[in-house]
Structure 1
Amino acid sequence: MWEKWVMAISAIGLLVSWLYGEVGGFDLSWLAVLLCGIPIAWSAGKELFQERTVNSDVLVTIAIIAAVSIGETFAAGEVALIMMLGMWLEQRTVAKAASALEEMVQMAPQTATVKRGDDWMEVPLEKVVQGDLILVKPGEKVPVDGVVKSGQAALNQAALTGESLPVDKRSGDEVFMGTLNTNGVIEIEAKRVGDETTFAKVTRLVAEAMERKAPVQRLLDRWAAWIVPTSLVAAVLVYLFTGDLVRAVTILIVFCPCALVLATPTAIMAGIGSAAKHGILIKSGVALEQIGLVNALLFDKTGTLTEGKLQVAGVARLHNQDADEVIRLAAALEQHSEHPVAQAIVKAGEERTVTLPKVDSFLVHPGNGVSGQIEGQQVLVGNRRFFTDMGVATEELEQMKEEQEQAGRTAVFVARGGKLIGMITLADRVRTEARETIGLLRLHGVGNIAMLTGDNRGAAAQIAQQAGVTTVYAEQFPEAKYRHVEEYRKQGHVVGMVGDGINDAPALTSAHVGIAMGAGGTQIAAEAADIVIMNDDLSKVADVVRLGQKTLRVIRENLIVSSVINLGAVALAMWGVLGPVGGAFVHNATSVLVVLNSARLIHYLSGLNKHKRPTPPSLASCSSCTCKGECEMSR
């Protein structure tokens, strides 16, 4: 909190100094020099004497001292304030990352309904022990890792596995803490509780990744490592050979001017500002530099490469039934259900503007399907297991189911009067911009692109093919995603991770730079990431990579131009041609040149968006289908 007050007071002091000069014989720019400069000098001293490293803080401290020595107090205060602002932004990012851990802990269930004797009692989670029998109702989260003992339910496991579809659970199936019961009632036996659960492991992975994430050396720090000793040696040599202290001080001034210090922060500020105008939140300058160096980018599937919502992908008609009739009957039954599959079918009915008939004797068969009387005939809508139990299964049905599962889709069958009349297939649709985004990334040097998902191999392969991703890791839990990021890092890649869920948080934190899809994703993913795409537009991933690359080019241009000018000025100072006043002029002129060069970044993304090609309507309407526009849903 104190940093805000220090920066505010320093900024006011600089503004007054710029407008009015000295006030009462005192230059208020000294406020910035002292309030902001002393912490920077302290940090520089610690790095230099304790860590034995030379970084940009040392360079800034020398620049401040050199500027003050020739009366350029305003310039010294300006540099100190800018660097203090950068330090504060970095500290704020660390605090944000820590809050992600707190939120993960809060998202875990705090109580559980446990059987004690013949009664069900709600008890604090810490009192649940291995072997307890726990009741989980619709809308509740599973409080432990365990095994279903009785009942049926559809659990949304996206938080842990990223699976786009709720998973039906029945007796003998394993369930995990933090997953949401969307439909049905189950009793589970606790197998892992507290710190032993999968959810707790995810939390630990995020914490460990935050602790061990090595600090990245900024481009300016690498330059400072040779600029600082070079400038000091040059100044000492000139003083020893000429005995002229003014020449030596002038060398320090022109060797470490504001231009060199402003080279990185001005470009970073312009880049971050440009991104913010286009719905991209970049939390730090390090993140912007790192995204420009990324050569391996790993994508989560559900909610990242895909829209994260089930949609009807097609309708198979049997016995000359009309596709609208199949949808009409299914939607009539499913309108009474809250299951995500049911909601997708009802939405398809609304899009087709079918009139839903009256339903009598409606029944829900948890984990299987629904049934009811429509126009005097029994109608069934559900999965293969349901149709087998109801005596309607056929070889044709089995074959259709296998084909859809291999394609990564969910099959819902419809029967009327004991006869199979159609099949509705559902899938998570690939984002329309996914394929073009992947192509742009490859075009701009990101050669290693992979997809990580908790979904089965069939669904993963189908989505990857449509998105243009060739490397796929399927059936991956959070720990496995984290390990893949670590493997890419060990291979020497600069790794970026793009995700949106709790299950992605460890990988987002472990990567050199994490990118969260913010609008549709979880708050935890957004907190753990370094960059957040606020409007959920996947093409912004390619935009921010290109912005990072452009920002690095501008920083290098700034450093090279200011260094070349420095070297020329140093040569003139050594010969006594350039004095302190001339050095100050070079100092300010180069600073203006650097700022103007950095300012080009402000409109960089606007220029990219002007040249974006719109997605063809045919692709947008059929993005998750391999029918090439010929299936029922595309008509």
Structure 2
Amino acid sequence: MTKLNIWITKHQNKITAAIAILIALSLLSDFVLKMGTAATVFMIVASILGAIPVALHAFSALQNKVISIELLVTIAVIGAFIIGEYEESAVVTFLFLFGNYLEQKTLEKTRSSVKSLTKMAPTTAELVDEDGKTETVDVDDLDEGDHVLVKPGGQIPVDGKIIDGTGYMNEASITGESTPVKKGIGDKVFAGSLTDNGTITVETTSVGEDTTFGKIIELVEEAQDSQSPAARFIDKFATYYTPAVLIIGILVWAITRDFPLAITVLVLGCPGALVIGAPVSNVAGIGNGAKNGILMKGGNAVNSFSHVDTLVLDKTGTLTTGKMSVTDVDNFGDKTENLALLAAVEKTSDHPLGQAVVKYAADQSITETPELPELDTVKGQGLVGQKDDFKILVGNERLMKANDVKISAEQKEAINSRMNDGDSVVLMAVGQELKLVVGVNDQLRPDAREGLQALKDAGLKRIVMLTGDNKVAAQRVADRLPIDEVHAELLPEDKVTFVKKFQEQGSTVAFVGDGINDSPSLATADIGIGMGTGTDVAIETADIILVKSSFDALAHAYVLAKKTVANTKENIFIAVGTVALLLLGLIVGVIHMGSGMFVHEISILVVIFNAMRLIKNKPVKLDSNQVLKTAN
């Protein structure tokens, strides 16, 4: 029996085609050749051939104590065969098998996101040995620490960091963003990315399933197989519904003694569209997200996110880029000479503020490197260097006061201005004179304003910022965004307290963070959303991961979740409505077994094609002009 099942399953499409040919020959014999006996024989053979795979599936289900749709069809077909309705039995089996074929093909299309990702997975790499020679090896043979060469147009086979060369990387397979990103020595690269130009050497940190790309594929596969609450309810409902249809069919025969009517009830009551409606919407929605750099961990995450009314965000690394940069410079002297001196001092430090100053000087084409005295660090204040009569101070205002640096009213106003803007202030004094006031700050993400407004337009009621930064810096960011509440100077446990408070107020809360410092809040919220390139903590803690760290991705995820849940409800309505209309048609005498099965299979295709609309759902287009109008 097992071997027969395997053979039937393998050749089911050919069997379906054979049944179609037999039905066509029967119709030709009956209406054209006027050979009634031959027509009947063709229909009998078609009925038997079609009933075999359906009956085998029904028997397998019964062995697992499941009353399946196939059982209803099998009983109906056998009943039609017994009463001599060979046309009905042949047509019903053909439509059922052909419907399965179309269902299989269209479902494969909804899973195309994962298939395309799998095909993009790198399989070979150019391994660089100690002598600098390269050898083509299987990706699975690489180990952490190995060096691989990637040429222009080549695919990066591993996660790692660039140790030689520069180039533009197309990371669309990871982030969903097709615009190439320039990367050089020290920058991280991801398996599956393409080098648009430039030759690079990468030191391996992760290989195969352990890479970000590998984890993305695994997550999407698991998510598409997981069920939404609607799907779980329908599955449970179907376990009772299908036996109920069988009992109703028996009762109809017992009361009316109309055998054709009873078996027609079995066909019309098949819950095919109802059973498939929710899963196919879930698969299509999650697949669309994966294609756009959004990883949703299953139907539960999609359903919960669609009901979110309160969005809670961290500031640093979420609303801002997480990278410090110089916002303003107030100079009191020769600007080029002063900046060259400050950059030379900051090059000796790995502090983020110092690195921002060094980058700013480089962007200003200041390459001069003045000779410096030996520098000492004053904890909590800055750097001090002195040689003979030359003394340089770089740090905060406390350092200046401790060394009796004179600060004029104009300079004090410049310092206060930077602080009022929420900037961290770097001061440089030479001797006892203040030469530079430099404002450094974490920059707001360019799409934050438009993205948050798009979320509100999509139905989000409240946006809250929770941050550990000072109130001035937090308010400075919030004033530029459509944020409803700001709570600053918080510890991680304080953020968790706020999330719980919002939940107690009846809100459905989504928390957006970087997935590291914010992991307690990510886990506590109804939906945790990690913004970043799929770090281990974000993947483990968050329910939704925005591989492309952008607010247009966040807005698309929210809209997509709502559309996926709405699509599921539409499919349930279509499925239930079809069964109701078929039963009504049966009562008034316009629906019979063959036509009922035809409508039943059409309803399955309708719910599948309805779900496939989600695949083509495009990301939200952020319009800065519209946001400004809304804000005003």
Contact 1:508 1:529 in 2 (8 A): yes
Q: Any gaps of 5 or more consecutive residues in structure 2?
A: 19-47, 78-92, 109-225
How far apart, in 1, do the equivalents of 2:399 and 2:57 lie? Answer: 74
How far apart, in 1, do the equivalents of 2:535 and 2:267 lie? Answer: 49
Partner of 1:277: 291
How far apart, in 1, do the equivalents of 2:543 and 2:104 lie? Answer: 24
**Pairing of 1:127-526 with structure 2 (within 5 A):** 218-221=229-232, 236=248, 238-239=252-253, 241-244=255-258, 247-248=261-262, 250-251=264-265, 253-318=267-332, 321=333, 323-365=335-377, 366-372=379-385, 377-392=390-405, 394=407, 404-519=418-533, 522-526=535-539
Q: Structure 2: which amino acid aligns with 1:218?
A: P
How far apart, in 1, do the equivalents of 2:14 and 2:547 lie? Answer: 39
How far apart, in 1, do the equivalents of 2:260 and 2:434 lie? Answer: 96
Q: Secondary structure at the match of 1:602?
A: coil
How far apart, in 2, do the equivalents of 1:491 and 1:425 lie? Answer: 40
Distance change >3 Å, CA 568–CA 514, structure 1 → 2:
same
Q: Structure 2: which amino acid aligns with 1:371?
A: V
Report Cα offsets for 1:156-215 as digits up to 9, x if no partner: xxxxxxxxxxxxxxxxxxxxxxxxxxxxxxxxxxxxxxxxxxxxxxxxxxxxxxxxxxx9
- Which deviates further from its counterpart, 569-578 or 392-401? 392-401
Q: Structure 2: which amino acid aligns with 1:523?
A: D
Asked whether 1:66 is paired with 2:72, we answer: yes
Match of 2:12 among 17, 38, 57: 17
Contact 1:504 1:525 in 2 (8 A): no
How far apart, in 2, do the equivalents of 1:468 and 1:267 lie? Answer: 32
Asked whether 1:552 is paired with 2:561, we answer: no
Shift of 1:551: 1.9
Contact 1:381 1:414 in 2 (8 A): yes
Partner of 1:624: none
Match of 1:535 among 525, 545, 548: 548
Contact 1:359 1:373 in 2 (8 A): no
Q: Structure 2: which amino acid aligns with 1:19?
A: K
- Which deviates further from its counterpart, 377-386 or 61-70? 61-70
- Which deviates further from its counterpart, 347-356 or 483-492? 483-492
Indicate the RMSD between aligned Cα atoms, in angstroms: 4.2
Shift of 1:244: 4.7
Shift of 1:442: 0.8
Q: Secondary structure at the match of 2:480?
A: helix
Q: Structure 1: which amino acid aligns with 2:72?
A: A
Distance change >3 Å, CA 324–CA 29, structure 1 → 2:
farther
How far apart, in 2, do the equivalents of 1:248 and 1:493 lie? Answer: 50
How far apart, in 2, do the equivalents of 1:69 and 1:76 lie? Answer: 18
Shift of 1:604: 0.9
Contact 2:330 2:414 in 1 (8 A): no
Distance change >3 Å, CA 68–CA 549, structure 1 → 2:
farther
Shift of 1:419: 0.6
Shift of 1:15: 5.1
How far apart, in 2, do the equivalents of 1:325 and 1:334 lie? Answer: 14
Contact 1:410 1:426 in 2 (8 A): yes
Partner of 1:571: 584
- Which deviates further from its counterpart, 485-494 or 293-302? 485-494
Shift of 1:393: 6.0
TM-score, L = length of structure 1: 0.62
Distance change >3 Å, CA 262–CA 226, structure 1 → 2:
closer
Partner of 1:95: none
Distance change >3 Å, CA 74–CA 530, structure 1 → 2:
farther
Q: Structure 2: which amino acid aligns with 1:16?
A: H
Q: Structure 1: which amino acid aligns with 2:573?
A: I
How far apart, in 2, do the equivalents of 1:252 and 1:29 lie? Answer: 14
Distance change >3 Å, CA 249–CA 337, structure 1 → 2:
farther
Shift of 1:411: 0.9
Q: Structure 2: which amino acid aligns with 1:338?
A: D
How far apart, in 2, do the equivalents of 1:601 and 1:375 lie? Answer: 73
Partner of 2:615: 602
Distance change >3 Å, CA 280–CA 476, structure 1 → 2:
same
Distance change >3 Å, CA 81–CA 592, structure 1 → 2:
closer
Identity level (%): 30
Report Cα offsets for 1:500-537 as digits up to 9, x if no partner: 13232222223332221132x64202321122111212
Contact 1:281 1:531 in 2 (8 A): yes
TM-score, L = length of structure 2: 0.63
Q: Structure 2: which amino acid aligns with 1:385?
A: R
Distance change >3 Å, CA 501–CA 578, structure 1 → 2:
same
Shift of 1:490: 2.8
Q: Any gaps of 5 or more consecutive residues in structure 1?
A: 1-5, 46-60, 86-214, 620-635
How far apart, in 2, do the equivalents of 1:390 and 1:33 lie? Answer: 89
Partner of 2:24: none
Between the two proteins, the alignment pairs up a number of residues equal to 456
Shift of 1:377: 3.6
Q: Secondary structure at the match of 2:342?
A: helix
Shift of 1:395: 7.3
How far apart, in 2, do the equivalents of 1:10 and 1:516 lie? Answer: 45
How far apart, in 1, do the equivalents of 2:58 and 2:389 lie? Answer: 87
- Which deviates further from its counterpart, 432-441 or 235-244? 235-244
Partner of 1:56: none
Distance change >3 Å, CA 574–CA 510, structure 1 → 2:
farther
Shift of 1:613: 4.1
How far apart, in 1, do the equivalents of 2:7 and 2:457 lie? Answer: 47
Q: Secondary structure at the match of 1:514?
A: strand
Contact 1:517 1:526 in 2 (8 A): no
Q: Structure 1: which amino acid aligns with 2:230?
A: L
**Pairing of 1:26-65 with structure 2 (within 5 A):** 63=69, 65=71
How far apart, in 2, do the equivalents of 1:11 and 1:503 lie? Answer: 52
Contact 1:452 1:473 in 2 (8 A): yes
Contact 1:17 1:29 in 2 (8 A): no
Q: Secondary structure at the match of 2:429?
A: strand
Report Cα offsets for 1:127-162 as digits up to 9, x if no partner: xxxxxxxxxxxxxxxxxxxxxxxxxxxxxxxxxxxx
Q: Secondary structure at the match of 1:353?
A: coil
Shift of 1:232: 6.8
How far apart, in 2, do the equivalents of 1:12 and 1:512 lie? Answer: 47
Shift of 1:229: 7.0
Q: Structure 2: which amino acid aligns with 1:317?
A: N
Contact 2:381 2:396 in 1 (8 A): yes
